[in-house]
Structure 1
Amino acid sequence: MPTFTENIGSHLGLLAEVLGNVLRLRNRCRSERRLDGHVVVITGANQGIGKETAYQLSFRGAKIIIGCRDEKRAENAIKDIKQRNPKADIYSLPLDLSSLQSVRQFVTEITKRETKVDILINNAGIACDTEQQTEDGFEMAFGTNHLGHYLLTLSVLPLLRNAPKARIITVSAGSHVFGKINFENINLRNGAINTKDAVSQSKLANVLFTRELARRLCRDTTVTAYSLHPGLVHTDFHRNLQSPALRTLFRLICQLFGLSIERGCQTSLYCALEEDLDNESGFYYDNCRRVDAMVSTATDDQSAQQLWQLSEELVRLEEHLKLPKHF
């Protein structure tokens, strides 16, 4: 768990973020890089910052593939994006990150259509405040936010390796600073779940996964990996909360202090476009810049390796997709 000093610093950091949002102190991605000929896969791009990211990257010439559970919402998102950018090259495929079978089918369909993927953006996320399970029996937030993206990333990796310089971007959150990976009770059973613990565990897992992924990729590929905090954004990320009071509270906070989705996607764009990032991997970004002062739980390589091994076992990762340790 974070130390007392780290906890105080984290709370002050969140307060500073809210103040920064109010004063509009967030940075923008300044890159003018084009992505003509690039293939970009984005999860959860039917709404919110994922949808805005898809639009922004389509405007730079990329072909966009949206992975979305609700096909009707995906169709509406594509329609909206094409209204804003009539030249957008974009299509959707069904993807339910809470189902390992759906993840595998999604990758199968991409492989039939594409010979490479240049950028994978693990954007989708869910928040839960009750004991909900995925199709495969995992705690919903951990299963969706981490395990689904873990399997997706490693399954898409062969296509990423076909690109000259590919990037894997995972949207985490500032709440990772409060997280702990509960290895003894990873699914938070027996009443152990609450919104803070479930979401912060899954978001810490995103950061540790990115860190370990970069370590395992570093010697044999030009694929790089980044995790990020988009900021406090006015979206419906908490729509799956069962408590009306909590939903109302989070909605009010986002309405009062949240960034617009256009502002909220800037760090995702930065990680996708900034050419200087070709020379670094495994780091965490916020406000369009790298964050080096991390809580100890987010830089714990032993936990990162343990989480990797556990995830590999839980998703029953195929042998040919496994990444060996190089250290």
Structure 2
Amino acid sequence: MQGKTVVVTGATSGIGEVAALELAGKGARIVFIARDRNRGEVTLAKLNATAPGLSHKVHYADLTLLAEMKRVAAEIAASEPRVDVLINNAGAAFAQRQVTADGFELTFALNHLSYFVITAGLRERLLGSAPARIVSTSSAAHRGMNIDLDDLQSAKNYSSIKAYGRSKLENILFTRELARRLQGAGVTANCLHPGFVATRFGHESGGVLQQLLKAVQIFAITPEKGAETIVYLAASPDVAGINGEYFIKNQIAKPSSAARDGAMAAALWRKTAELTGVDWPEPAAPVLRAASQ
């Protein structure tokens, strides 16, 4: 990872912070997005202590707001000549249904839209840095879930577990369609289930969900263990040519049938592009030339 720049969301705690520190230890320069300034400065200090002299950088943004997603992506694209790896890791679950200023359900906005908008905003930097990689944190919580394109905001029947599970299914479908659009571009997109990890995840969700998540963490794996697959997908030469897959414990795994639905992946992409006003264009069709006689 010497000389490479890695952009990370969700890097101020848990598996995101561990992955950022481990990649920095391998020589990568880390550029990360944080919402909380105090936590951002703490993580930046850890990075500088782990790998000094690499000019690690933090950008501040609220990734539940569309304008903030677009702003911070544009700032990074303007200030970084290259992005070798993008790690989409920001995410949360919320006990009660909440709607952002943009009219989006909060889980959907943070867990799905931020992945889509940040990735699209860094498109030119990723393509210009090829070979480059996009790594997105999903979850086994996607199993048993389905996407209702007419109710992406969970307005009909909100459940924190279902909203979170659907967002993780959306992460896999996003990866699937993104990988299709990246064919031949020298950039790969893969996603992963990190395992059930003992982190701050859900500690601000509120209500019974918050208490439940705290209680069951005695059965969880460490953030160090949970970050292993993120680091593997970001840095290992073993996956340099792999595109559009879902990983568990550094191995390709088979997600649910709903997560393998290419038509739904394309439909979700189109709907998300409409909602956000950003896109990653279709790959150019190959030019067919007549065979010489």
TM-score where L is the length of structure 1: 0.84
Report whether the alignment pairs 1:298 with 2:259.
yes
Report whether the alignment pairs 1:214 with 2:179.
yes
In 1, are the aligned partners of 2:73 and 2:118 still within 8 Å (CA)?
yes
Partner of 1:98: 64
| % identity of equivalent residues | 34
Partner of 1:274: 236
In 1, are the aligned partners of 2:203 and 2:213 still within 8 Å (CA)?
no
Report whether the alignment pairs 1:240 with 2:198.
no
- After TM superposition, the structure 1 = structure 2 runs for residues 149-298 of structure 1, keeping only pairs within 5 Å, are 149-190=115-156, 192-219=157-184, 221-243=185-207, 245-254=208-217, 256-291=218-253, 293-298=254-259
User: What's the CA shift for 1:181?
Assistant: 1.1
In 2, are the aligned partners of 1:233 and 1:259 still within 8 Å (CA)?
yes
User: What's the CA shift for 1:91?
Assistant: 1.2
Using the TM superposition, name which of 83-92 and 46-55 deviates more: 83-92
Q: For this pair of structures, how many residues does the alignment match?
A: 285
- The 1:125/1:86 distance shift into structure 2, 3 A limit, reads same
1:126-164 C-alpha deviation (Å, 9 max, x unpaired):
101211112311111111110111011011010001113
- The 1:86/1:324 distance shift into structure 2, 3 A limit, reads closer
Report whether the alignment pairs 1:323 with 2:281.
yes
Q: Quote the Cα distance in structure 2 between the aligned partners of 1:112 and 1:218.
A: 25
Q: Provide structure 2 residue ranges, at least 5 long, that are not aligned to the other structure.
A: 286-293
User: What's the CA shift for 1:72?
Assistant: 1.8
Partner of 2:82: 116
Report whether the alignment pairs 1:313 with 2:271.
no
Q: Quote the Cα distance in structure 2 between the aligned partners of 1:53 and 1:106.
A: 21
In 1, are the aligned partners of 2:77 and 2:121 still within 8 Å (CA)?
no
Using the TM superposition, name which of 78-87 and 153-162 deviates more: 78-87
Partner of 1:31: none
Q: Quote the Cα distance in structure 1 between the aligned partners of 2:264 and 2:204.
A: 29
Report whether the alignment pairs 1:40 with 2:6.
yes
1:39-80 C-alpha deviation (Å, 9 max, x unpaired):
100001011111111100111111100101112210011123
Report whether the alignment pairs 1:137 with 2:103.
yes
User: What's the CA shift for 1:322?
Assistant: 3.5
Q: Quote the Cα distance in structure 1 between the aligned partners of 2:117 and 2:12.
A: 21
More helix by share: 1
Q: Quote the Cα distance in structure 1 between the aligned partners of 2:209 and 2:106.
A: 18
**1:140 counterpart letter in structure 2:** L
In 1, are the aligned partners of 2:74 and 2:121 still within 8 Å (CA)?
no
Q: Equivalent residue of 2:203, what SS? A: coil
**What is the Cα-based RMSD across aligned positions, in Å?**
1.5
Q: Quote the Cα distance in structure 2 between the aligned partners of 1:127 and 1:68.
A: 17
